[in-house]
Amino acid sequence: MSGSRCVPAYDRRWGGLLNGGFLNQEIRRLAGMPCQRGSGRRGGEAAINVVKKMKMTQQPILATWSFIAQASQAAAIVPDGCRDIIIRMRNHEPVIMFATELDDTTRTVHVQTGDSFFGFRLQPGVGIRPELSCAMSSLATCPADAETIREFLIQPRDLAELLAAVQNARGTLEAAKSLGVSSRTLQRKLFDATGRSPSWWRRLARLRKSAKLIASAEIDQIELADLAFQHGYCDQPHMTREFQHWLGVSPHNLRKNGAVADALASTGYGDG
């Protein structure tokens, strides 16, 4: 994990929250809003989820969220262009705090009944200072708020503008022209800021836009061909290869894979 690494950190007070039944109250306090209950799509699996979006889109933190697993399950994590700083609380284990990386492909995580998570979701492309790894122990001991977390984030002034241009362009050259810079300058700025190229970000935005549409509607093979053209793919096989690369499923089978389809509902790059 570049720039940050997982550092276990804990405090006995967290164990008291877990064992004493006060965890829901603590999550509400951290998120600054009431808990909302919801149920998963498969087998009636229930979880407590809280998502609070930050008011200003230019802030480095996109949202705070929490999750309490009501059953042991596997969850799909799809590429979304965002990193998260997460506190995980598990019965009879130390609390850990860790930072995720940008995902290039879909992965699966396994949670246990009673696992509780509180997270800070970062804006697309926002980085994390290496100093966070050294501060994780104290931050988990005394749970941090958004203001504290912002001190460890890296958000170049023009990052949002660069990503917006790439998202809406048909290629790197078009995006660079809209920004009034050369293609090489755009490539250098984005790679220096995020570790990913403009083409990576453009492919991700295109993938998420088309996949969200397929996941939310019944689409037959003829419509898939039209959808591929509308989203800038060369043809339907090209779109299928991209789906297989990023999501591990074909467009045709996306709706059959409930875990991946559900994961696409989360906020990320290309949604705007």
CB 66 within 8 A of CB 252: no
Collect all residues with Cβ–Cβ distance below 8 Å to 84 and sequence separation of at least 6.
99, 100, 119, 120, 121, 122
* pLDDT class of 145 with cuts at 50, 70, 90: confident
How much is the pLDDT for 266?
87
Percent of the chain with pLDDT over 70: 75
How much is the pLDDT for 10?
30
29 pLDDT higher than 80: no
How much is the pLDDT for 94?
86
97 pLDDT higher than 70: yes
pLDDT, average across residues 103-127: 95
pLDDT, average across residues 174-190: 97
Name which residue leads in pLDDT, 147 or 248: 248
Return the beta strands (E) in the chain as ranges.
Answer: 7-8, 36-39, 46-53, 61-69, 73-77, 84-89, 96-99, 107-111, 116-122, 127-128, 153-154
Name which residue leads in pLDDT, 264 or 2: 264
How much is the pLDDT for 26?
41
Listed range (106-110, 139-143, 193-197, 220-224) with the worst mean pLDDT: 139-143
